[in-house]
Structure 1
Amino acid sequence: MEFTRDDILICAVKGYVYAIHKKDGTILWEKYIAIRAAVISVYVSDNDRVIAAAVGATHSIDLMTGEIIWSNNMTGFGYSEVSIVATPSGTVKPLQLLEDEVDKLYLPPHYETVTQDQQIIIACSKGGALAIDFNTGDTLWQYDCPGGGYNIPVAIIEPPNQKLGRQTQLAYVGSGRCVYCLDARTGYLVWSVSLSWNVLGSGYMTLASPWSSKLAAETNTAFSQNPSAQAANKKRTKDKNNDHKK
């Protein structure tokens, strides 16, 4: 069956990642990556890669064929659910107007795409964040959130902001009661803040910013809006505690 990247809908359930045709639901390919009980997070890049993560591992899968390109087993992160975000493969900026175009200021600006030197995946699990090279699957850096515990962190990546004096892309990671601001390229801790000292109530954090909310405005699924994996982890912890009481 012939199809293009725009025909594909990616679904993940019961340990498998599926590519199905948007027109009639035909299964184009399927790939087993995790145990059936796993919650699989997925992300599709603009260079035809499916990033799928579950039970402490992250995989890159060819969008068109279902072939696994690489796997990163996220050493030290156990077998919990994984949340994933990625730096963009390119950014857009307005082109500078030429002198003879000054009278066209009322027109919408033209844009050019600026390719990023290196695209990075940030996979979060078990109170920490792991940066993975998008092309090779190699680990670039790891940050264990102090006070993050065994929570599943959530992350937001934002572009450089000259107004705020930010020359590099930053990753904001929330885990437990703390938020950590990291340099997305190096893992360097820019700042951190503890938001609550309350020991009662839920410790699952969600994050949002005007930029990230604008990108998510087309009702895309994300961990911060739909924390299904966190809910699964909460149930697992409750069952574990009940087992200890027996």
Structure 2
Amino acid sequence: MASKLNRNDLLIVSTHSKIYCLDKNNGSRIWRKEYLGSMKGSISLYINDADLLIAAAGGTAYGYDLFTGSVKWTNSMDGMGSHEVAVTSTSTNDVARLAPDYEAISDRPPAYIASQKSVVILCSYGMVIGVDSTTGQTMWRYRCPDGIQHMPAVISEADKVYIGSGRMVSALNPKNGQKIWTVSASNSVMRSCAMTMATVWGSRQAEM
């Protein structure tokens, strides 16, 4: 199957507690998997540049082979409850090879270290964990300083992961979860407002 289909031909859909892989060219189904975790809200999906499909919902995350749907690992997200989950992943060093040739120097993506390893970032209910993309093991965890009741917003880049919750924004080292900086982005007295974020490079990762 992998020999006939390119990763760019695939569309992943989740509905009714199932995950489907469809061919974008004609809509035909390639595989279907029952989501094994507890369901509360929708299933969050993310595909990293190593063709790992991450699906997370209800406090459980799974790593699937993109082309076959076989389960590679499970992470129970201990201590993070059974709430909706935000998911992203840092890139592997292959991104430097796959990235488009930008003409403007200012448009070039951040430099990548050859030994860089992809880290899956899972966020739920004011908590963030970094997960080994190969084994599914939790590498580190971080509690957001403001907004324990929120699902944190998250953006991953080469050397930083940006976490937003309530009024606070933090930058973390994706390898170990160490805090690089934390600021209050808002002076509002309300702490219960959801946050969204974007960066140019974070948005462009999907174009690879």
TM-score category of the 2 structures, normalised to the smaller one: 0.7 to 0.9
| Post-superposition CA distance 1:36-78 (Å, at most 9, x none) | 6531111122322211111111110111211111010100111
d(CA) in 1 for partners of 2:149 and 2:55? 21
Alignment of 1:6-25 (within 5 A): 6-25=8-27
Counterpart secondary structure, 1:92: helix
SS in 2 for 1:211: helix
Shift of 1:28: 1.3
Which 10-residue stretch deviates more, 35-44 or 64-73? 35-44
Q: Are 1:88 and 1:116, in contact at CA under 8 Å, matched by a contact in 2? A: no
Counterpart of 1:24 in 2: which secondary structure?
coil
* Cα distance, 1:38–1:31 mapped onto 2, change above 3 Å: farther
Deviation at 1:116, TM superposition (A): 4.0
Residues in 1 aligned to 2:21 and 2:41: alpha-carbon distance in whole angstroms = 18
Q: Superposition RMSD on alpha carbons, in Å?
A: 2.7
Higher helix share: 1
Q: Which 5+ residue runs of structure 1 have no aligned equivalent?
A: 94-106, 160-168, 219-246
1:36 to 1:184, Cα distance in 2 relative to 1, 3 A: closer
Aligned partner of 1:27: which letter? R
Instruction: Tell me what 1:151 maps to.
Output: 150
- Partner amino acid, structure 2, of 1:208: A
**Corresponding residue to 2:64 among 58, 61, 68:** 61
Unaligned runs of 5+ in 2: 98-102, 106-110
Match of 1:88 in 2: 91
By relative contact order (CA 8 Å, sep 6+), the higher-ranking structure is 2
Paired with 1:130 and 1:114, the residues of 2 have a C-alpha distance of 22
| Aligned position for 2:136 | 137
1:207 aligns with 2:202: no
- For these two proteins, the number of residue pairs brought into alignment is 193
Task: Report sequence identity in percent.
Answer: 35
SS in 1 for 2:201: helix
Contact 1:173 1:181 in 2 (8 A): yes
Q: Corresponding residue for 2:182?
A: 192
